[in-house]
Protein backbone atom coordinates (compact mmCIF):
# COMPACT_ATOMS: atom_id res chain seq x y z
CA UNK A 1 0.00 0.00 0.00
CA UNK A 2 1.23 3.49 -0.89
CA UNK A 3 1.87 5.60 2.21
CA UNK A 4 1.84 9.36 2.53
CA UNK A 5 2.02 12.27 4.99
CA UNK A 6 -0.48 15.04 4.20
CA UNK A 7 -0.03 18.68 5.25
CA UNK A 8 -3.58 19.15 6.48
CA UNK A 9 -4.95 22.54 7.49
CA UNK A 10 -8.58 21.51 7.88
CA UNK A 11 -9.47 23.93 5.07
CA UNK A 12 -11.46 23.17 1.95
CA UNK A 13 -8.50 22.30 -0.30
CA UNK A 14 -6.56 19.97 1.98
CA UNK A 15 -9.74 18.26 3.20
CA UNK A 16 -10.65 17.48 -0.40
CA UNK A 17 -7.11 16.22 -0.95
CA UNK A 18 -7.47 13.92 2.07
CA UNK A 19 -10.60 12.36 0.56
CA UNK A 20 -8.86 12.20 -2.85
CA UNK A 21 -5.86 10.34 -1.40
CA UNK A 22 -8.14 7.93 0.49
CA UNK A 23 -10.03 7.29 -2.72
CA UNK A 24 -6.71 6.48 -4.46
CA UNK A 25 -5.98 3.89 -1.78
CA UNK A 26 -3.22 5.67 0.15
CA UNK A 27 -2.45 4.97 3.80
CA UNK A 28 -2.40 8.53 5.17
CA UNK A 29 -1.08 10.30 8.25
CA UNK A 30 -1.94 13.98 8.54
CA UNK A 31 0.01 16.81 10.12
CA UNK A 32 -1.67 20.08 11.13
CA UNK A 33 0.22 23.16 12.29
CA UNK A 34 -0.57 25.62 15.05
CA UNK A 35 1.50 28.62 13.94
CA UNK A 36 -0.51 31.15 15.94
CA UNK A 37 -3.12 31.67 13.19
CA UNK A 38 -6.20 33.63 14.28
CA UNK A 39 -8.39 31.08 12.53
CA UNK A 40 -7.31 28.16 14.73
CA UNK A 41 -10.85 26.87 14.27
CA UNK A 42 -9.45 25.12 11.17
CA UNK A 43 -7.49 22.86 13.54
CA UNK A 44 -10.73 21.74 15.28
CA UNK A 45 -12.17 20.96 11.88
CA UNK A 46 -9.02 19.01 10.93
CA UNK A 47 -9.49 16.85 14.05
CA UNK A 48 -13.18 16.25 13.30
CA UNK A 49 -12.59 15.22 9.69
CA UNK A 50 -9.74 12.88 10.67
CA UNK A 51 -11.88 11.29 13.38
CA UNK A 52 -14.66 10.79 10.84
CA UNK A 53 -12.30 9.20 8.30
CA UNK A 54 -10.28 7.33 10.97
CA UNK A 55 -7.04 8.92 9.86
CA UNK A 56 -4.24 9.89 12.26
CA UNK A 57 -3.89 13.63 12.88
CA UNK A 58 -1.05 15.24 14.79
CA UNK A 59 -0.98 18.95 15.53
CA UNK A 60 2.52 20.42 15.53
CA UNK A 61 2.90 23.34 17.91
CA UNK A 62 4.75 26.13 16.14
CA UNK A 63 2.83 28.98 17.76
CA UNK A 64 5.99 30.71 18.91
CA UNK A 65 6.91 31.24 15.26
CA UNK A 66 4.42 34.09 15.21
CA UNK A 67 7.03 36.13 17.08
CA UNK A 68 9.40 35.95 14.13
CA UNK A 69 7.14 35.57 11.07
CA UNK A 70 5.23 38.73 10.16
CA UNK A 71 1.70 38.27 8.82
CA UNK A 72 -1.82 39.63 9.20
CA UNK A 73 -2.84 35.99 9.81
CA UNK A 74 -1.01 35.95 13.14
CA UNK A 75 -0.56 39.58 14.30
CA UNK A 76 -3.04 40.68 16.96
CA UNK A 77 -2.83 44.32 15.96
CA UNK A 78 -3.36 43.78 12.24
CA UNK A 79 -6.78 43.20 10.67
CA UNK A 80 -7.48 40.62 7.99
CA UNK A 81 -8.03 42.52 4.73
CA UNK A 82 -11.44 42.37 3.05
CA UNK A 83 -11.96 42.03 -0.69
CA UNK A 84 -11.07 39.80 -3.58
CA UNK A 85 -8.64 36.91 -3.13
CA UNK A 86 -6.53 38.12 -6.06
CA UNK A 87 -6.07 41.62 -4.65
CA UNK A 88 -2.64 42.96 -3.84
CA UNK A 89 -3.81 43.63 -0.28
CA UNK A 90 -4.13 39.86 0.32
CA UNK A 91 -0.33 39.72 0.36
CA UNK A 92 -0.61 40.85 3.99
CA UNK A 93 -1.90 37.34 4.73
CA UNK A 94 1.25 35.64 3.49
CA UNK A 95 3.07 33.89 6.34
CA UNK A 96 6.68 34.05 5.11
CA UNK A 97 7.85 30.63 3.96
CA UNK A 98 4.96 28.82 5.67
CA UNK A 99 4.71 26.03 3.11
CA UNK A 100 8.41 25.26 3.10
CA UNK A 101 8.37 25.11 6.90
CA UNK A 102 5.34 22.79 7.02
CA UNK A 103 6.58 20.62 4.15
CA UNK A 104 10.06 20.27 5.68
CA UNK A 105 8.53 18.94 8.91
CA UNK A 106 6.15 16.68 6.96
CA UNK A 107 9.14 15.33 5.00
CA UNK A 108 11.06 14.64 8.21
CA UNK A 109 8.04 12.75 9.55
CA UNK A 110 7.64 10.83 6.27
CA UNK A 111 11.33 9.81 6.41
CA UNK A 112 10.97 8.69 10.05
CA UNK A 113 7.93 6.58 9.13
CA UNK A 114 9.60 5.10 6.04
CA UNK A 115 6.77 6.63 3.92
CA UNK A 116 9.01 8.87 1.77
CA UNK A 117 6.00 10.67 0.28
CA UNK A 118 4.21 13.92 1.22
CA UNK A 119 1.29 15.89 -0.25
CA UNK A 120 -0.08 19.40 0.01
CA UNK A 121 -3.04 21.16 -1.57
CA UNK A 122 -1.60 24.11 -3.51
CA UNK A 123 -4.02 25.14 -6.26
CA UNK A 124 -3.97 27.59 -9.16
CA UNK A 125 -5.97 30.29 -7.33
CA UNK A 126 -3.06 30.68 -4.89
CA UNK A 127 -0.41 31.38 -7.51
CA UNK A 128 -0.76 35.15 -7.71
CA UNK A 129 -0.63 35.84 -4.00
CA UNK A 130 1.36 33.05 -2.36
CA UNK A 131 4.91 32.54 -3.66
CA UNK A 132 5.05 29.12 -1.98
CA UNK A 133 2.08 27.80 -3.96
CA UNK A 134 3.48 28.57 -7.42
CA UNK A 135 4.46 25.79 -9.84
CA UNK A 136 8.10 26.98 -9.76
CA UNK A 137 8.14 26.57 -5.97
CA UNK A 138 6.71 23.07 -6.31
CA UNK A 139 9.25 22.18 -9.02
CA UNK A 140 12.17 23.34 -6.85
CA UNK A 141 10.95 21.72 -3.63
CA UNK A 142 10.49 18.45 -5.55
CA UNK A 143 14.11 18.59 -6.69
CA UNK A 144 15.23 19.32 -3.13
CA UNK A 145 13.09 16.47 -1.77
CA UNK A 146 15.04 14.05 -3.94
CA UNK A 147 18.26 14.77 -2.04
CA UNK A 148 17.21 15.50 1.54
CA UNK A 149 17.77 11.92 2.69
CA UNK A 150 19.48 8.69 1.61
CA UNK A 151 16.30 7.85 -0.32
CA UNK A 152 14.29 10.43 -2.33
CA UNK A 153 11.04 11.84 -0.96
CA UNK A 154 8.17 12.42 -3.39
CA UNK A 155 5.97 15.55 -3.23
CA UNK A 156 2.39 15.19 -4.53
CA UNK A 157 0.39 18.29 -5.53
CA UNK A 158 -2.51 16.95 -7.61
CA UNK A 159 -4.49 20.22 -7.39
CA UNK A 160 -1.65 22.51 -8.50
CA UNK A 161 -3.16 23.43 -11.86
CA UNK A 162 -6.88 23.42 -11.02
CA UNK A 163 -9.15 26.05 -9.43
CA UNK A 164 -10.99 26.03 -6.13
CA UNK A 165 -14.24 25.49 -8.06
CA UNK A 166 -12.68 22.36 -9.62
CA UNK A 167 -11.68 21.21 -6.14
CA UNK A 168 -15.26 21.61 -4.84
CA UNK A 169 -16.50 19.63 -7.84
CA UNK A 170 -14.06 16.77 -7.16
CA UNK A 171 -14.82 16.87 -3.44
CA UNK A 172 -18.55 16.79 -3.95
CA UNK A 173 -18.19 13.67 -6.09
CA UNK A 174 -16.04 12.11 -3.34
CA UNK A 175 -18.64 12.93 -0.65
CA UNK A 176 -16.52 15.48 1.25
CA UNK A 177 -18.35 16.87 4.30
CA UNK A 178 -17.66 20.57 3.70
CA UNK A 179 -19.51 21.43 6.89
CA UNK A 180 -16.35 20.17 8.63
CA UNK A 181 -13.98 22.53 6.81
CA UNK A 182 -12.91 26.07 7.66
CA UNK A 183 -11.49 28.80 5.45
CA UNK A 184 -12.20 32.26 6.93
CA UNK A 185 -9.04 34.02 8.10
CA UNK A 186 -10.74 36.31 10.64
CA UNK A 187 -11.22 33.70 13.36
CA UNK A 188 -14.72 34.49 14.65
CA UNK A 189 -17.30 31.85 15.53
CA UNK A 190 -18.94 32.14 12.10
CA UNK A 191 -17.19 32.88 8.78
CA UNK A 192 -17.05 36.58 7.88
CA UNK A 193 -18.01 36.24 4.21
CA UNK A 194 -15.90 39.29 3.37
CA UNK A 195 -12.23 38.31 3.52
CA UNK A 196 -10.47 37.08 0.38
CA UNK A 197 -10.62 33.44 1.35
CA UNK A 198 -14.36 33.59 2.21
CA UNK A 199 -15.12 35.26 -1.14
CA UNK A 200 -13.05 32.70 -3.06
CA UNK A 201 -14.79 29.86 -1.20
CA UNK A 202 -18.30 31.20 -1.76
CA UNK A 203 -17.60 31.64 -5.47
CA UNK A 204 -16.27 28.09 -5.76
CA UNK A 205 -19.57 26.68 -4.43
CA UNK A 206 -21.61 29.09 -6.55
CA UNK A 207 -19.79 28.08 -9.75
CA UNK A 208 -20.82 24.50 -9.04
CA UNK A 209 -24.45 25.49 -8.37
CA UNK A 210 -23.98 24.48 -4.72
CA UNK A 211 -24.61 26.13 -1.36
CA UNK A 212 -21.71 26.28 1.08
CA UNK A 213 -22.95 24.37 4.16
CA UNK A 214 -21.07 26.45 6.75
CA UNK A 215 -22.59 29.44 8.56
CA UNK A 216 -21.69 33.03 7.70
CA UNK A 217 -22.11 36.21 9.71
CA UNK B 1 25.32 46.92 5.61
CA UNK B 2 24.75 43.31 4.55
CA UNK B 3 22.26 41.56 6.86
CA UNK B 4 21.93 37.86 7.56
CA UNK B 5 20.15 35.27 9.73
CA UNK B 6 22.48 32.53 10.97
CA UNK B 7 21.34 29.03 11.96
CA UNK B 8 23.36 28.85 15.15
CA UNK B 9 23.67 25.66 17.19
CA UNK B 10 26.33 26.87 19.60
CA UNK B 11 28.67 24.19 18.25
CA UNK B 12 32.18 24.66 16.96
CA UNK B 13 31.27 25.12 13.28
CA UNK B 14 28.44 27.64 13.57
CA UNK B 15 30.26 29.62 16.29
CA UNK B 16 33.22 29.99 13.95
CA UNK B 17 30.82 31.03 11.19
CA UNK B 18 29.34 33.69 13.48
CA UNK B 19 32.82 35.18 14.03
CA UNK B 20 33.54 34.86 10.30
CA UNK B 21 30.36 36.77 9.36
CA UNK B 22 31.11 39.46 11.95
CA UNK B 23 34.59 39.79 10.52
CA UNK B 24 33.09 40.25 7.04
CA UNK B 25 30.95 43.09 8.35
CA UNK B 26 27.52 41.46 8.38
CA UNK B 27 24.70 42.56 10.68
CA UNK B 28 23.68 39.19 12.14
CA UNK B 29 20.67 37.75 13.93
CA UNK B 30 21.01 34.16 15.13
CA UNK B 31 18.39 31.45 15.51
CA UNK B 32 18.95 28.40 17.70
CA UNK B 33 16.62 25.40 17.82
CA UNK B 34 15.46 23.31 20.75
CA UNK B 35 14.40 20.13 18.98
CA UNK B 36 14.65 17.93 22.08
CA UNK B 37 18.37 17.21 21.61
CA UNK B 38 20.04 15.51 24.59
CA UNK B 39 22.95 17.92 24.24
CA UNK B 40 20.86 21.04 24.94
CA UNK B 41 23.98 22.41 26.61
CA UNK B 42 24.85 23.73 23.13
CA UNK B 43 21.94 26.19 23.50
CA UNK B 44 23.46 27.62 26.71
CA UNK B 45 26.73 28.06 24.86
CA UNK B 46 24.92 29.75 21.96
CA UNK B 47 23.45 32.28 24.41
CA UNK B 48 26.84 32.95 26.02
CA UNK B 49 28.64 33.51 22.72
CA UNK B 50 25.89 35.84 21.46
CA UNK B 51 25.98 37.82 24.70
CA UNK B 52 29.74 38.13 24.38
CA UNK B 53 29.52 39.31 20.75
CA UNK B 54 26.36 41.40 21.35
CA UNK B 55 24.41 39.55 18.69
CA UNK B 56 20.69 38.77 18.97
CA UNK B 57 19.89 35.11 19.66
CA UNK B 58 16.41 33.60 19.62
CA UNK B 59 15.75 30.00 20.59
CA UNK B 60 12.93 28.41 18.62
CA UNK B 61 11.06 25.77 20.59
CA UNK B 62 10.58 22.72 18.40
CA UNK B 63 10.99 20.17 21.19
CA UNK B 64 7.73 18.44 20.33
CA UNK B 65 9.22 17.46 16.97
CA UNK B 66 11.10 14.72 18.80
CA UNK B 67 7.80 12.80 18.90
CA UNK B 68 7.76 12.55 15.10
CA UNK B 69 11.43 12.65 14.07
CA UNK B 70 13.36 9.49 14.92
CA UNK B 71 16.98 9.93 16.00
CA UNK B 72 19.48 8.77 18.63
CA UNK B 73 20.06 12.50 19.30
CA UNK B 74 16.56 12.85 20.76
CA UNK B 75 15.36 9.35 21.82
CA UNK B 76 15.63 8.70 25.56
CA UNK B 77 15.96 4.95 25.10
CA UNK B 78 18.66 5.08 22.45
CA UNK B 79 22.34 5.62 23.26
CA UNK B 80 24.63 7.90 21.29
CA UNK B 81 27.00 5.64 19.32
CA UNK B 82 30.74 5.73 20.09
CA UNK B 83 33.46 5.63 17.44
CA UNK B 84 34.64 7.46 14.37
CA UNK B 85 32.54 10.28 12.89
CA UNK B 86 32.64 8.64 9.45
CA UNK B 87 31.26 5.31 10.73
CA UNK B 88 27.99 3.94 9.37
CA UNK B 89 26.70 3.77 12.96
CA UNK B 90 26.74 7.59 13.14
CA UNK B 91 23.71 7.57 10.83
CA UNK B 92 21.65 6.91 13.97
CA UNK B 93 22.38 10.53 14.91
CA UNK B 94 20.72 11.94 11.81
CA UNK B 95 17.61 13.94 12.70
CA UNK B 96 15.52 13.49 9.54
CA UNK B 97 15.45 16.70 7.52
CA UNK B 98 16.74 18.81 10.41
CA UNK B 99 18.63 21.29 8.25
CA UNK B 100 15.75 21.89 5.85
CA UNK B 101 13.44 22.51 8.85
CA UNK B 102 15.86 24.94 10.52
CA UNK B 103 16.73 26.70 7.25
CA UNK B 104 13.07 27.09 6.28
CA UNK B 105 12.34 28.86 9.57
CA UNK B 106 15.50 30.96 9.25
CA UNK B 107 14.42 31.94 5.72
CA UNK B 108 10.95 32.92 6.95
CA UNK B 109 12.58 35.07 9.64
CA UNK B 110 14.99 36.60 7.10
CA UNK B 111 12.05 37.49 4.82
CA UNK B 112 10.14 39.04 7.75
CA UNK B 113 13.18 41.15 8.64
CA UNK B 114 13.83 42.17 5.04
CA UNK B 115 17.28 40.53 5.31
CA UNK B 116 16.79 37.96 2.51
CA UNK B 117 20.00 36.15 3.41
CA UNK B 118 20.68 33.09 5.63
CA UNK B 119 23.79 31.08 6.52
CA UNK B 120 24.58 27.67 8.00
CA UNK B 121 27.80 25.88 8.78
CA UNK B 122 27.74 22.66 6.75
CA UNK B 123 31.30 21.41 6.21
CA UNK B 124 32.95 18.63 4.22
CA UNK B 125 33.29 16.26 7.19
CA UNK B 126 29.49 16.02 7.37
CA UNK B 127 28.99 14.91 3.77
CA UNK B 128 29.25 11.15 4.27
CA UNK B 129 26.81 10.91 7.17
CA UNK B 130 24.37 13.80 6.89
CA UNK B 131 22.39 14.02 3.63
CA UNK B 132 21.37 17.61 4.42
CA UNK B 133 24.98 18.80 4.57
CA UNK B 134 25.98 17.58 1.10
CA UNK B 135 26.82 20.00 -1.72
CA UNK B 136 23.85 18.68 -3.76
CA UNK B 137 21.50 19.55 -0.87
CA UNK B 138 22.97 23.03 -0.67
CA UNK B 139 22.66 23.48 -4.45
CA UNK B 140 18.99 22.47 -4.42
CA UNK B 141 18.04 24.51 -1.35
CA UNK B 142 19.72 27.53 -2.96
CA UNK B 143 17.56 27.12 -6.07
CA UNK B 144 14.45 26.78 -3.89
CA UNK B 145 15.41 29.84 -1.84
CA UNK B 146 15.34 31.90 -5.03
CA UNK B 147 11.59 31.30 -5.44
CA UNK B 148 10.18 31.05 -1.91
CA UNK B 149 9.18 34.70 -1.79
CA UNK B 150 8.66 37.69 -4.06
CA UNK B 151 12.38 38.42 -3.72
CA UNK B 152 15.07 35.73 -3.74
CA UNK B 153 16.73 34.62 -0.51
CA UNK B 154 20.46 33.87 -0.57
CA UNK B 155 21.97 30.87 1.27
CA UNK B 156 25.59 31.22 2.43
CA UNK B 157 27.66 28.11 3.26
CA UNK B 158 31.28 29.32 3.25
CA UNK B 159 32.57 26.17 5.04
CA UNK B 160 30.93 23.66 2.70
CA UNK B 161 34.14 22.38 1.12
CA UNK B 162 36.55 22.66 4.06
CA UNK B 163 37.27 20.35 7.01
CA UNK B 164 36.69 20.85 10.72
CA UNK B 165 40.44 21.29 11.14
CA UNK B 166 40.30 24.13 8.59
CA UNK B 167 37.42 25.66 10.55
CA UNK B 168 39.43 25.56 13.81
CA UNK B 169 42.33 27.21 11.98
CA UNK B 170 40.11 30.03 10.69
CA UNK B 171 38.38 30.41 14.06
CA UNK B 172 41.66 30.59 15.96
CA UNK B 173 42.82 33.41 13.69
CA UNK B 174 39.50 35.19 14.31
CA UNK B 175 39.84 34.80 18.09
CA UNK B 176 36.91 32.42 18.60
CA UNK B 177 36.42 31.48 22.26
CA UNK B 178 36.08 27.71 21.79
CA UNK B 179 35.57 27.32 25.54
CA UNK B 180 32.06 28.65 24.80
CA UNK B 181 31.21 25.98 22.21
CA UNK B 182 29.71 22.53 22.64
CA UNK B 183 29.83 19.50 20.37
CA UNK B 184 29.34 16.26 22.39
CA UNK B 185 26.05 14.52 21.57
CA UNK B 186 25.75 12.64 24.87
CA UNK B 187 24.54 15.56 26.97
CA UNK B 188 26.50 15.09 30.21
CA UNK B 189 28.10 17.93 32.19
CA UNK B 190 31.49 17.29 30.53
CA UNK B 191 32.11 16.10 26.97
CA UNK B 192 32.41 12.30 26.64
CA UNK B 193 35.44 12.25 24.32
CA UNK B 194 34.18 9.02 22.74
CA UNK B 195 31.23 9.86 20.48
CA UNK B 196 31.84 10.63 16.80
CA UNK B 197 31.50 14.37 17.20
CA UNK B 198 33.91 14.48 20.20
CA UNK B 199 36.51 12.45 18.27
CA UNK B 200 36.15 14.68 15.17
CA UNK B 201 36.49 17.79 17.36
CA UNK B 202 39.55 16.55 19.25
CA UNK B 203 41.27 15.63 15.98
CA UNK B 204 40.52 19.07 14.51
CA UNK B 205 42.37 20.77 17.39
CA UNK B 206 45.19 18.21 17.30
CA UNK B 207 45.77 18.75 13.57
CA UNK B 208 46.28 22.45 14.32
CA UNK B 209 48.68 21.69 17.19
CA UNK B 210 46.12 23.12 19.62
CA UNK B 211 44.49 21.93 22.83
CA UNK B 212 40.68 21.92 22.96
CA UNK B 213 39.84 24.23 25.91
CA UNK B 214 36.66 22.40 27.01
CA UNK B 215 36.64 19.70 29.71
CA UNK B 216 36.34 16.00 28.90
CA UNK B 217 35.32 13.10 31.13
Residue B16 pLDDT greater than 90, yes or no? yes
- The reply to whether residue B70 touches residue A97, judged by beta carbons under 8 angstroms, is no
Output B92 or B116, whichever has higher pLDDT: B116
Instruction: Write the DSSP string, chain B.
Output: --EEEEE--SSHHHHHHHHHHHHTT-EEEEEEEESS-TTTHHHHHHHHHHHHHT-EEEEEE-GGGGGTS--TTT-TTSPPPBS-TTSGGGGGG--TTHHHHHHHHHHHHHHHHT--EEE----GGGTTT-GGGSHHHHHHHHHHHTTSSSS--EEE-TTTTS-HHHHHHHHHHHT--GGG----SS-SSSB-S-BHHHHHHHHHHHHTT----S-B-
Residues (pLDDT < 50) of chain A are none
Is the residue at B118 inside a domain? yes
Is the residue at A181 inside a domain? yes
pLDDT score recorded for residue B190: 93
Q: How far apart are CA B117 and CA B106, in angstroms?
A: 9
Identify which of B58, B137, B147 has the shortest CB distance to residue A136: B147
Confidence of residue B87 (pLDDT cuts 50, 70, 90): low
Is the residue at A121 inside a domain? yes
Is the residue at A168 inside a domain? yes
- The reply to whether residue B140 touches residue A132, judged by beta carbons under 8 angstroms, is no
Instruction: Report the complex ipTM.
Output: 0.91
Is the residue at B212 inside a domain? no
User: Where is average pLDDT lowest: A40-49, B79-88, B129-138?
Assistant: B79-88
Residue B21 pLDDT greater than 90, yes or no? yes
Residue B35 pLDDT greater than 70, yes or no? yes
Number of domains observed in the structure of chain B = 1
pLDDT score recorded for residue B85: 63
Is the residue at A214 inside a domain? no
- Whether B68 has its CB under 8 Å from any CB of chain A: the answer is yes
Is the residue at A120 inside a domain? yes
Residue B193 pLDDT greater than 80, yes or no? yes
User: Where is average pLDDT lowest: A18-22, B22-26, B195-199?
Assistant: B195-199
Q: Are B13 and B125 in contact (CB under 8 A)?
A: no
Residue B14: give its domain's CATH number: 3.40.50.620
- Expressed as residue numbers, the domain containing B65 is 3-207
Mean pLDDT, rounded, for B162-178? 97
User: How many CA atoms lie within 13 Å of A175's alpha carbon, on the beta-carbon side?
Assistant: 4
% of chain B residues with pLDDT over 70: 95
- Whether B127 has its CB under 8 Å from any CB of chain A: the answer is no
- Whether B108 has its CB under 8 Å from any CB of chain A: the answer is yes
- The reply to whether residue B148 touches residue A64, judged by beta carbons under 8 angstroms, is no
Average pLDDT, chain B: 91
Find, in chain A, the residue whose alpha carbon is nearest to that of B105: A101
Residue B127 pLDDT greater than 80, yes or no? no
% of chain B residues with pLDDT over 90: 72
pLDDT score recorded for residue A94: 75
- Whether B1 has its CB under 8 Å from any CB of chain A: the answer is no
Is the residue at A215 inside a domain? no
Mean pLDDT, rounded, for B47-71? 92
Closest CA to B163 of B8, B9, B16, B5: B16
User: Where is average pLDDT lowest: A99-113, B68-82, B126-140?
Assistant: B68-82
- The reply to whether residue B68 touches residue A60, judged by beta carbons under 8 angstroms, is yes
Residue B117 pLDDT greater than 70, yes or no? yes
Chain B residues whose beta carbon lies within 8 Å of the beta carbon of residue A126: none
- The reply to whether residue A131 touches residue B148, judged by beta carbons under 8 angstroms, is yes
Amino acid sequence: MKKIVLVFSGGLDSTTLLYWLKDKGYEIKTLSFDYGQKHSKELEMAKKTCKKLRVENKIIDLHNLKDILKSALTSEGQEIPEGDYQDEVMKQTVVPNRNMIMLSIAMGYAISLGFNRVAYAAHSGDHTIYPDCRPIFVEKIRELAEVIDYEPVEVLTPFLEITKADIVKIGTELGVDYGLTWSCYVGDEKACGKCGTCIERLEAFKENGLIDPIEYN
